[in-house]
Structure 1
Amino acid sequence: MKITKILLLITAFIFASCNGQSEKTVEVLPSKTFSEKINTTPNVQLLDVRTPEEFSSEHLDKAVNINWKDSDFETQVAKYDKEKPVFVYCLSGGRSKKAAEKLNELGFTSVYELEGGITKWNADGFGKPLDKVIGMTKTEYKKLIKSDKKVLVDFYAEWCAPCQKMKSYITKMEQDSTSDVVVIRIDADKNKTLASEMKINQLPTLILYNPNQEEQWRYFGYISEENLRKQL
């Protein structure tokens, strides 16, 4: 009887150990580590999960575009080797997080996600220098935020879910001519030069300036209307 119990315990232990060893994971890597890994991995599987339009405007070397929002995303990634590392990124991390989780769920054993996406990659100095000005310059930006009132700048993108969730009340604040705060919304995708110069590596990014154009407050990510108004 005792021997049977011991054998059962040993079997359970071995099963648990093996199960733990085969457990798949997703690692979120900072730009430097991500760069080192993709540069030292032969025949790297590097997936850009943004839209084709975003991909065509800028992407990492050796990346392949598979749009996370495509209905056949699973079919497209099925052609890749699940036993080899797969690297994934988007613009700022929202879509790549979901894509990485899906790849893990589909059985890819080593999934590496770029922290902060290509936006953070560029801000950290790993991107290619822009060969032309895209959108607003910093000089134009400084003129834009010049005011005798406080100025709240909202850096957003159309694909950004938190940005869209905040859009209605920020737009309402933007159109309120009686407010003592000027609200300006800037599309980061259409103003890449400015976003890069200001190191905007997360979206949304909110920046509040006092009338002297000094930065008073900066916030990343979703914030409720109530909490935002408290800051103003």
Structure 2
Amino acid sequence: MKKNKTIKNSITMLILFLSIIGFAQNEKSNTVSLEVFYTKIQSQKNPQVIDARGPEEFALNHIIGSINFNSQSADYNKQIAKLDQSKPVFIYSIGAGRSVQLEKELLKIGFSEAYTLEGGIANWIGGGKPFFANSKSKLTLAEYKKIISENNDVLVDIGSKYCGACKKVKPVLETIKAQYGDNLKIVEIDLEDNPQVIADLKTVKVFPTLILYKKGKIVFKKDGLGDLKNDVDVALASK
């Protein structure tokens, strides 16, 4: 009797475990790398590409041929009606929030395939893929290289004013500026004013990206904020 009860409990636990695994898999996002995302788009005759950022962001820069809406848009249903549910949909944003949310919504209502771009617009432009921008970069690659060559220590902050994580970098940079003053050159590059130099660097995959140079050589490159202050202190102390 005890043995049967133990077996029954084991089966119940196994079913529960499999259910949890299945639920987790269903919740998993179809977030793919830049190359996978780009290759899939290229395989489509008329790819359905959605920029899930806000209209102000879209107006400044976007993937050529993309349309702009997200799950919070007033014309959400109207935009959905224009799409072909039997064909793949490719979605990106500044990070993963709005694009993943929209991806899950589309799959839920019957779209056959939906993919989110890992790293969003930062990865696309930073990876050198074609994009639209409504103005030229204020900073050129040649000017960027000149700054690096003319200063012993340079900290570069690459991001966007629409990026939540990027905003957390700013107070840390102020602390670093106060500590090191003229001994450390700090360069802030934002997507809105400098998309082309971000593309030309061919090193940005996510916002924010932090790069520290010493005598023209990269000491560290960080994807995301991390412990920036400590990393700068350690690197500059190792002269």
Cα shift at 1:49: 1.0
Partner of 2:39: 36
Q: Is residue 2:160 matched to residue 1:157?
A: yes
Over the aligned positions, Cα root-mean-square deviation in angstroms equals 3.7
Partner of 1:64: 67
TM normalised by structure 1 equals 0.71
Q: Residue 30 of structure 2 aligns to a residue in which SS?
A: strand
Amino acid at match of 1:120: N
> Aligned pair in 2 of structure 1 residues 126, 152: CA closer, same or farther (>3 Å)?
closer
> Aligned pair in 2 of structure 1 residues 176, 184: CA closer, same or farther (>3 Å)?
farther
Checking the alignment, whether the CA contact within 8 Å between 1:26 and 1:104 is kept in structure 2 is: no
Checking the alignment, whether the CA contact within 8 Å between 1:89 and 1:117 is kept in structure 2 is: yes
Cα shift at 1:56: 3.1
Checking the alignment, whether the CA contact within 8 Å between 1:89 and 1:114 is kept in structure 2 is: yes
- Structure 2: 5+ residue stretches without partners: 1-10
- Structure 1: 5+ residue stretches without partners: 1-8
Amino acid at match of 2:164: A
Checking the alignment, whether the CA contact within 8 Å between 2:157 and 2:189 is kept in structure 1 is: yes
Partner of 1:3: none
Cα shift at 1:191: 0.9
Amino acid at match of 1:113: T
Checking the alignment, whether the CA contact within 8 Å between 1:31 and 1:126 is kept in structure 2 is: no
Q: Distance in 2 between matches of 1:78 and 1:131?
A: 26
2:188 to 185, 188, 191: 185
Partner of 2:56: 53
Q: Is residue 2:228 matched to residue 1:202?
A: no
Q: Distance in 2 between matches of 1:106 and 1:162?
A: 31
Instruction: Deviation per CA, 1:47-66: give whole Å up to 9, x if none.
Output: 11123233234433442111
Q: Distance in 1 between matches of 2:48 and 2:139?
A: 35
2:142 to 139, 144, 153: 139
Checking the alignment, whether the CA contact within 8 Å between 2:64 and 2:130 is kept in structure 1 is: no
Instruction: Deviation per CA, 1:30-89: give whole Å up to 9, x if none.
Output: 333323333444664321112323323443344211156x45475566535656532201
Q: Is residue 2:102 matched to residue 1:99?
A: yes
Q: Residue 26 of structure 1 aligns to a residue in which SS?
A: coil
Amino acid at match of 1:32: E
Partner of 1:224: 227
Larger displacement relative to structure 2 (28-37 or 97-106): 97-106
Partner of 2:169: 166
Q: Distance in 1 between matches of 2:148 and 2:125?
A: 24
Q: Residue 63 of structure 2 aligns to a residue in which SS?
A: coil
Task: Give the number of aligned pairs.
Answer: 214
Partner of 1:4: none
Partner of 2:216: 213
Q: Distance in 2 between matches of 1:189 and 1:102?
A: 28
Checking the alignment, whether the CA contact within 8 Å between 1:24 and 1:108 is kept in structure 2 is: no
Amino acid at match of 1:118: I
> Aligned pair in 2 of structure 1 residues 208, 63: CA closer, same or farther (>3 Å)?
same
Amino acid at match of 2:213: Y
Structure holding more helix per residue = 2
Cα shift at 1:130: 7.7
Amino acid at match of 2:29: V
Identity of aligned residues (%): 30
Larger displacement relative to structure 2 (107-116 or 97-106): 97-106
Cα shift at 1:90: 2.2
